[in-house]
Amino acid sequence: MNTNENEIIANQWNAWYGDVQVLKNITIHIEQNKATAIIGPSGCGKTTFVRCINRLHELTPHTRTEGTLFLGSTNIYKSDSSAIRQKIGMVFQRPNPFPTMTIAGNVMAGYFLNGIRLKKEVYHEILEDSLKKAALWNEVKSKLNHYGSELSGGQQQRLCIARAIATRPKIILFDEPCSALDPVATGKIEELITELKNQYTILIVTHNMQQAARVADNTAFFMLGELIEYKATDELFTNPSHHLTEEYITGRFG
């Protein structure tokens, strides 16, 4: 077993919603400190796989899973779910700052919600560091007590990234993080992902193949719940091994 603590290793991973199997024998190694994209048509299991990694899948009634998922040497499904979620940051499709919380409160919500009290100087250090890493500090440092909902859409998404960073995770999961953003905001998020992979392992679900080509070191192609192909992004887009991958990236379906 590879014991790099910032890697995700899935082996023969399966997932169901009721009687419907949505992931089928997924075996994949998400490498440490790289950005990995998951592409594929709607309904292929991309988001379900990400939700399995941070234990959100099980919150939906009548779901089940089989196989193994490791975060480094930690078996994700034999560990406390709250402890796992603290190690895995999540950024969703649409910006979702807590509307009744300030900008500062949003960033530090992971501590409040888990009953973790911090010394004042530690609190401010984490707050500033997280906002800087999310490329938002200079824009909000004078209005930390304003509501996060007052920010623009792109700023709100970067606020959500700061919130994901604040708990010092090992992995950051992005589920279509730019789908609700304009091109300028999308560019800022993509630049941020490129910077963040120096410190975190990044897994990004995207329908945008150009985005995968721009930000991802490796890309996985899913279809109908199966992992069809997984390799270096440049190679997958220029020399796919499977005919389904080629048909998808050339626009013949999807």
Look-up: residue for tokens 């963040």? 196
Per-residue DSSP letter, 102: B
pLDDT given at position 218: 98
Is residue 254 one of the residues assigned to a domain? no
What is the pTM assigned to this prediction? 0.91
Question: What is the model's pLDDT at position 2?
Answer: 47
Q: Are strands 218-223 and 35-39 parallel, antiparallel or unpaired?
A: parallel
- Its domain, for residue 192, covers 8-249
Per the structure, how many domains does the chain have?
1
Q: What is the pLDDT of residues 140-198, one digit of tens each?
A: 999 999 999 999 999 999 999 999 999 999 999 999 999 888 899 899 999 999 999 98
pLDDT tens, 152-162?
999 999 999 99
Residue 179 included in any domain = yes
Ordered alpha helix ranges (H), the chain = 46-53, 81-87, 103-107, 109-112, 120-133, 137-140, 153-166, 183-196, 209-215, 233-238, 243-249
Per the domain annotation, does 1 fall within a domain? no
pLDDT band at 5 (very low <50, low <70, confident <90, very high): confident
Closest CA to 56 of 96, 26, 15, 110: 15
Q: Tens digit of pLDDT for each residue in 126-144? A: 999 999 999 999 999 999 9
CATH code (residue 210)? 3.40.50.300
